[in-house]
Structure 1
Amino acid sequence: MTAHQHTGRDADRMAIRDRMLERVQRRIGGLLTEEHRRWAAAGHRSASLVSDVAAVVRSADDRVRAGLFLTGYLAAGGDPGAARAVDTAASLEMLDAALAVRADTRDGVALRRGLPTLHVSHAAEHERNGWRGESRRFGDTTSVLAGDLAFGYADRLARALSGAARREWETLRTQRALGAYEATVAAAAYRDDPWPAGCLALACSPGCAAGAYAVHHPLRLGALLAGRPELADVYAEYGVRLHAAWRLRGFLSGGPDYDDEAELLRDVLFDAEGRRSAEARTRELAEDAARALVPARLPSDWHAELASWASYLGATHCA
């Protein structure tokens, strides 16, 4: 993913990042192709589960987490030829796939990007074949297992990480799960609020915690893998502000995390002036994110690229 168009030397550097993203996709494709061939050759029906994981990964077209990680890594002086960096970015993609499958199953989501979700398609398969048991339960069970498989592949891809980078990866995995749990409990207890006030206050409220962790941890991981631990905290400050802009934009535009209740709340809260004020706040958060990078003293083109992420995500759907 490229946040904006570039010219000159900065375009050359961004092209390096984009070529790394292409390597990430080849790495994932190669792993899943090898896995499918292995289990299919052995006569295991479970090869179809590998195909399920591959379909979910292919359906993700934003690559935000991998893009943020690689941008932070290269901005910190990371080696673009390092296989470990490609594997780490691939692990973030696989983690996203695992969490997406689990979220779809938990929330009963029928479609993802216009296609039936795994639990829906497997329930339909069960019903078509007249198999024993309950179709819905079969769909949920097989979908959860596909999520388990994706988690396993994510861990396999991250196995070369060590030291502080490994701890960061483990923290990311843990906090994304805990953030999702907090959001689920908040919804069940009527404590969820579509208006992302906690995010705007730069506080990890239940409704924004999982997304915030998913933004700033990949950046911190990039700094640590590049051998620049002093950048980790700067990246975290930037990432929190970046995520806040993203969440507010998601609320204003009706992104995927915002349902009919959010639409009603937007209609109640915002007249034309209120929307202009919220739009201005989104831009302020993007500018705050860019300013948070100043202590890092990054190369000017990479500073501009990271700053552009704030503008880009502030103008698109929520995290």
Structure 2
Amino acid sequence: MTSDVTTGTGQEPAGLARRTGAELLRRVEDRLRSLLAAERDAWAGVDERAVVPIDALAELIESGGKRIRPAFCITGYLAAGGDPEAPGIVAVGAALEMLHLSALVHDDVLDDSSHRRGLPTVHTRHTALHDSSGWQGEARRYGEGVAILVGDLALVYSGELMSQAPKPALPEWNKLRSEVMIGQYMDVHAAAAFSVDPRLSRLIAKIKSGRYTIHRPLVVGATAAGRSDLAPAFEEYGEAVGEAFQLRDDLLDAFGDSADTGKPTGLDFTQHKMTLLLGWAMQRDERIHALITEPGHTADEVRRRLVDTGVPADVEKHIDALVERGCKAIADAPVDQVWRGELTDMARRVAYRNA
């Protein structure tokens, strides 16, 4: 496979460009599995119990996931003319996915979520193990402690992988990591305060999810290829499409099917997440605040009230506007048309996905 797809000549078809990206994603997948397999082999010789956190991460990898962050990173890299045969971009993609695993495991503790990708979450599984084994101490505290350590281990592995990346990508990587942590704190704080502030809800969605999912991975990929000049266009695209991605998540949490999403629905209600969906709805109907915070009310009651406000339909319109804005931003980006088309397709896929 040659690197002509990524040189901006405009001579290669979109199909070949997409296959190049798919091949790099496959190599990312192999890198994740080989790292965890090597770690397991090393620790199994120390003590059989030492492999438990590694196995927890391996199970998450095997359970699927959309690999959105590596996909955007690789697309940014190829759009910037990066060599698909260079080894660094595979390490970067794997680092992004490992960082995401860390965030997922910790997020499940913060949200008290029982399932992820159709399987019991790490803290739920180890809480149950402690309980059934009759061990000392508090079962829930044990389960959450294990999950925190599993998430921290993924964070360590992400750093190890990123140490193999092209150095120009590191500053953007560091911004990405700090943003997701600060965004998570702001999300936790907003849930505790649970005051109506749509401006803050949008800011949290951008920092915690949008930049971390789309904007920063794109720029990490472009800078790894030596094209930091693409940062402004990728920022405008990523901010818009990233917000659309998070709004779709909000709608899926409120109205989706857990069989499709692989996790419980209605968590934003039970955890008092001040999403833009809820913020807008509570501006129109004060009763929604009580339905969520007072005991004795069901998620179905909240859903019916949300629909009555008309806000879900308005959120859909807002997603449409954000996708249009993102597509317009990328239409003027100084990259080959094949990659402008691919990023346009990716914007629509993440904004209008069902799960």
Q: What's the TM-score once normalised by structure 1's chain length?
A: 0.87
Contact 2:182 2:208 in 1 (8 A): yes
Go from structure 1 to structure 2 and tell me whether the alpha carbon gap of 1:204 and 1:225 turns closer, same or farther (over 3 Å shift).
Answer: farther
Aligned to 1:205: 203
Instruction: Output one character per residue of 1:251-292: Cα deviation in whole Å (capped at 9) or x when no partner.
Output: 444356744487355313218xx72x5534422321211111
* Alignment partner, residue 220 of structure 1: 219
3-state SS of 1:171 partner: helix
Q: Distance in 2 between matches of 1:251 and 1:120?
A: 23
SS at match of 1:205: helix
Shift in Å, 1:131: 1.2
State the alpha-carbon separation in 1 of the partners of residues 309 and 87 from structure 2: 49
Structure 1: runs of 5 or more not aligned: 1-7
Rounded Cα–Cα distance in structure 2 between residues aligned with 1:175 and 1:31 = 26
Counterpart of 2:344 in structure 1 is 307
Distance 1:141 1:250, change over 3 A: closer
**Corresponding residue of 1:245:** 244
Is 1:75 the counterpart of 2:79 in the alignment?
yes
Greater mean deviation of Cα atoms: 126-135 or 140-149: 126-135
Structure 2 residues without counterparts, runs of 5 or longer: 1-11, 257-264, 270-298
Task: Return the alpha-carbon distance in structure 2 between the equivalents of residues 180 and 262 of structure 1.
Answer: 24
More displaced 10-residue stretch of structure 1: 147-156 or 44-53 = 44-53
Aligned residues: 302
For 1:266, give the aligned amino acid: L
The equivalences for 1:1-319 within 5 A come to 9-161=13-165, 163-191=167-195, 197-198=198-199, 204-214=202-212, 215-253=214-252, 254=254, 258-259=268-269, 260=299, 263-264=303-304, 266-270=306-310, 275=313, 278-316=315-353
Report if the CA contact (8 A) 1:105-1:119 is conserved. yes
CA drift at 1:129: 1.7
Preserved contact between residue 252 and residue 266 of structure 1 (Cα < 8 Å):
no
CA distance in 1, matches of 2:192, 2:185: 11
Secondary structure of the residue that 1:77 maps to in structure 2?
coil
Shift of 1:47: 0.9
Runs of 4+ in 1 over 6 A off after TM superposition: none
Task: Determine the C-alpha separation between the residues in 2 that align with 1:154 and 1:204.
Answer: 28
CA RMSD for the aligned pairs? 2.3
CA pair 264-171 structure 1, distance change in 2 beyond 3 A: farther
Q: Match of 2:27, as an amino acid?
A: R
* Contact map agreement 2:206 2:239 (CA 8 A) in 1: no
Q: Is the 8 A contact 2:65 2:117 kept in 1?
A: no
Identity %: 32
- Within 2, Cα distance between the matches of 1:317 and 1:95? 24
The one-character-per-residue Cα deviations of 1:203-256 (angstroms, maximum 9, x if unpaired) are 952344200221210011011001101001110110011012223333444356
Amino acid at match of 2:241: L
Contact 1:250 1:258 in 2 (8 A): no
